[in-house]
Amino acid sequence: MGAEWVSRAARQGYNEALFRLGDPYLEGKGVPKPPSKALSWFLIAKQSGLEKAAAAVETVEAWLSKKEARKAAKRAADFRKDEVK
């Protein structure tokens, strides 16, 4: 799925799209590779009810420092759909 379509779907609230927005940050595909940004998207997807996001959250949280994980959680808490680009 193309990045533009994923972003559009995320703005409309599709939790699978919210989850997919984390993948590029985790893998460093076309964007810088801060896993904390991936965690933010996975947390947002989890909060939206996507069950598989819980496993991704757990995995990425284990890689990050507590400070990075808190920053990601704050970013997820402050998320608004109109911010998806």
pTM of the predicted model as reported, rounded to 2 decimal places: 0.85
Quote the pLDDT of residue 52.
94
* Beta-carbon count within 10 A of 34 CB: 16
Question: How high is the mean pLDDT in each 10-residue block of the chain (85 residues)?
Answer: 78 88 84 88 93 95 95 90 62
Q: How far apart are CA 60 and CA 1, in angstroms?
A: 23
Question: HSE on the CB side for 67, CA within 13 Å?
Answer: 0
pLDDT for the residue numbered 64: 95
Token pair 């990045």: residue: 3
- Helix 66-77 to helix 35-47 angle (10° resolution) is 50
The pLDDT score that the predictor gives to residue 56 is 95
Position 53 scores a pLDDT of 96
CA distance 39 to 36: 5
The phi, psi pair for 39, rounded to 5°, reads -60, -40
